[in-house]
């Protein structure tokens, strides 16, 4: 017989495991959904707020710049005419960005099929603008503006002829 002080204990085994809460069980899925939602919302906000790029007609932009140059007066007509011509050339010829110097641009003009058709008036306008800008030389501003418009007309004809050849 056993004594009252020494009782025998029997082990019941491990307690059943408590299942994790719903939040613990689905943390990975929830964080993935929240991340994707934030990314989509950010993309939507970006797309709605960005400025729309309008592809302006380079010929219209040249004409507007030339009319603004004529309105500015004789003092700035030569520089503004050259600037308008440079902008137009940069818009129609990918290999002639607006930041090129006159010497770099003249090298591009000679080798470009579109620009070489009106190389003479373009180079005369650019060199006259350089003389006014760097040497302070007085030149016939109306003549420079006329040359810029002549170069524009030749370039526009060459560009349209090229498009007619390329278009199906």
**How high does pLDDT run on average in the chain?**
82
- Nearest CA among 148, 155, 112 for reference residue 128: 148
Give dist(CA 150, CA 66) in Å, integer: 12
Whether 18 is covered by a domain: the verdict is no
**CB contact at 8 A, 168 and 128:** no
Q: Is residue 126 part of a domain?
A: yes
pLDDT band at 32 (very low <50, low <70, confident <90, very high): very high
The pTM is what? 0.59
How many structural domains does the chain have? 1
Helix, strand, coil percentages in the chain from 3-state DSSP, rounded to 5: 70, 0, 30
Which tens digit of pLDDT belongs to each residue from 56-80? 778 888 888 888 877 877 767 778 8
Q: Is 84 contained in some domain? A: yes
> How far, in Å, CA of 17 to CA of 125, rounded?
88
Q: Give the domain range for residue 140.
A: 58-166
* 34: in domain: no
pLDDT tens for each residue of 136-166: 777 677 788 888 888 888 888 888 887 777 6
- Say if 125 falls within a structural domain: yes
Token pair in block for residue 74? 């004789």
Indicate whether 23 belongs to any domain: no
- Residue 149 domain flag: yes
Is residue 114 assigned to a domain? yes
């Amino acid at each position: 017989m056993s004594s009252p002080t020494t009782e025998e204990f029997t082990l019941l085994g491990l307690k059943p495991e408590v299942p994790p809460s719903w939040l613990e069980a689905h943390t990975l899925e929830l964080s993935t959904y929240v991340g994707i939602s934030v990314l989509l919302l950010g993309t939507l906000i970006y797309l709605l707020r960005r400025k729309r790029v309008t592809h302006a007609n380079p010929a219209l932009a040249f004409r507007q710049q030339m009319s603004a140059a004529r309105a500015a007066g004789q003092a700035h007509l030569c520089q503004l005419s050259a600037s308008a011509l440079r902008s137009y050339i940069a818009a129609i010829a990918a290999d002639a960005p607006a930041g090129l110097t006159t010497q770099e641009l003249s090298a591009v003009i000679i080798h470009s099929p579109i620009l070489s058709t009106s190389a003479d008036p373009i180079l005369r306008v650019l060199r006259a603008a350089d003389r006014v800008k760097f040497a302070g030389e007085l030149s016939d501003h109306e003549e420079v503006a006329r040359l810029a418009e002549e170069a524009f007309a030749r370039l526009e004809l060459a560009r349209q002829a090229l498009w007619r050849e390329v278009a199906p």
